[in-house]
Amino acid sequence: MSIHIVALGNEGDAFHQDNRPSGLIRTYLGRSPLVSGDESSLLLNATSTVARPVFTEYQASAFGNVKLVVHDCPVWDIFDSDWYTSRNLIGSADIIVIKYNVNDKFSFHEVKDNYIPVIKRALNSVPVIIAAVGTRQNEELPCTCPLCTSDRGSCVSTTEGIHLAKELGATYLELHSLDDFYIGKYFGGVLEYFMIQALNQKTSEKMKKRKMNSSFHGIRPPQLEQPEKMPVLKAEASHYNSDLNNLLFCCQCVDVVFYHPDLKEVIEAHKIVLCAVSHVFMLLFNVKSPTDIQDSSIIRTTQDLFAINRDTTFPGASQESSGNPPLRVIVKDALFCSCLSDILRFIYSGAFQWEELEEDIRKKLKDSGDVSNVIEKVKCILKTPGKINCLRNCKTYQARKPLWFYNTSLKFFLNKPMLADVVFEIQGTTVPAHRAILVARCEVMAAMFNGNYMEAKSVLIPVYGVSKETFLSFLEYLYTDSCCPAGIFQAMCLLICAEMYQVSRLQHICELFIITQLQSMPSRELASMNLDIVDLLKKAKFHHSDCLSTWLLHFIATNYLIFSQKPEFQDLSVEERSFVEKHRWPSNMYLKQLAEYRKYIHSRKCRCLVM
Highest mean pLDDT among 47-56, 76-85, 496-505: 496-505
Question: Is the pLDDT score of 181 beyond 60?
Answer: yes
| Sign for the pseudo-dihedral over CA of 212, 214, 216, 220 | positive
pLDDT for the residue numbered 302: 93
Candidates 216, 156, 125; CA nearest to 10 is 156
CB 331 within 8 A of CB 375: no
Q: For residues 103 and 12, what is the distance between their CA atoms, to the nearest angstrom?
A: 9
Spacing of C-alpha 461 from chain mean position? 44
Going by pLDDT thresholds of 50, 70 and 90, the confidence category of residue 224 is: confident
pLDDT for the residue numbered 155: 86
CB 333 within 8 A of CB 305: yes
Q: What are phi and psi of 498, to 5 degrees?
A: -65, -35
pLDDT for the residue numbered 15: 43
CB 301 within 8 A of CB 280: yes
At 421 the three-state DSSP class reads coil
Q: For residues 188 and 479, what is the distance between their CA atoms, to the nearest angstrom?
A: 78
- Lowest model confidence (mean pLDDT) among 24-28, 209-213, 278-282: 209-213
pLDDT for the residue numbered 325: 85
Candidates 9, 120, 119; CA nearest to 72 is 9
Task: Name 184's Cβ contacts closer than 8 Å, sequence gap at least 6.
Answer: 28, 31, 32, 33
Q: What is the pLDDT of residues 415-426, one digit of tens each?
A: 999 999 999 999
Count of CB atoms within 10 A of residue 528's CB? Answer: 9
Q: Find residue 175's DSSP bridge partners.
A: 133
Going by pLDDT thresholds of 50, 70 and 90, the confidence category of residue 607 is: low
Residue 169, sorted as left (phi over 0), alpha (psi -120 to 50) or beta, turns out to be left
Task: Name 227's Cβ contacts closer than 8 Å, sequence gap at least 6.
Answer: 558, 585
CB 91 within 8 A of CB 122: yes
pLDDT for the residue numbered 307: 93
pLDDT for the residue numbered 552: 95
Q: Find residue 306's DSSP bridge partners.
A: 331
- Lowest model confidence (mean pLDDT) among 36-50, 112-126, 328-342: 36-50
464-484 in b/e burial notation, b at 16+ Cβ within 10 A?
A: eebebebbbbbbbbbbebebe
At 357 the three-state DSSP class reads helix
pLDDT for the residue numbered 152: 52
Q: For residues 153 and 486, what is the distance between their CA atoms, to the nearest angstrom?
A: 71
Q: What is the pLDDT of residues 515-537, one digit of tens each?
A: 999 999 998 899 888 889 999 99
Which run of H or E residues covers position 510? helix 504-519
